[in-house]
């Protein structure tokens, strides 16, 4: 009579070790298993249009940094840290785009001031006048 040997469960960390050793299939498995979790993280705080781009950028950074993950460490916190940095960079990039648009809006010359208001401004010290203008 043959006894069935229980198959060992392969963990994400095992797949990462294989990926670090050059196994391309291991990377595909990691992407398939972890991408839905990344999608859930990004969905909460990112526009839907950026979702797939953020996931792809995260995997690109994982690939670039794969040598920094140390076997024995938990893999998900390491990947989530990379995802957090990707999201932060994307947020800062979007903020810079908004700053440019805001500056363009304020480049329009101000409306003409009333004569009375101009007289009152002239009576103020230069520093206070500058703040109001």
First to last CA, the chain: 93
pLDDT range class, residue 42, cuts 50, 70, 90: confident
Residue 66's pLDDT is 93
What confidence tens digit (pLDDT) does each residue in 45-101 have?
A: 767 778 889 999 999 999 999 999 999 999 999 999 999 999 888 877 776 665 555
Residue from 54, 62, 97 nearest 78 by CA: 62
CA 79 to CA 66: how far, in whole Å? 10
Name the average pLDDT for the chain.
Answer: 81
CA dihedral 64, 9, 55, 23 (to 10 degrees): 40
Q: Is 73 helix (H, G, I), strand (E, B) or coil?
A: strand
């Amino acid at each position: 009579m043959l006894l069935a040997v229980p198959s060992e469960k392969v963990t994400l960390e095992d797949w990462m070790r294989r990926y670090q050793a050059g196994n391309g299939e291991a990377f595909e498995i990691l992407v398939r298993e972890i991408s839905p979790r990344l999608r859930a993280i990004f969905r909460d705080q990112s526009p839907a249009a950026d979702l797939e781009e953020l996931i792809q950028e995260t995997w690109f950074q994982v690939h670039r940094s794969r040598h920094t993950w140390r076997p024995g460490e938990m893999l998900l916190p390491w990947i989530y840290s990379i995802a957090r940095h990707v999201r932060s960079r994307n947020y800062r990039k979007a903020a810079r785009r908004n700053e440019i648009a805001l500056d363009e809006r304020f480049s329009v010359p101000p409306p003409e001031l009333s004569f009375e208001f101009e007289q009152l401004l002239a009576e103020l010290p230069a520093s206070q006048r500058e703040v109001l203008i």
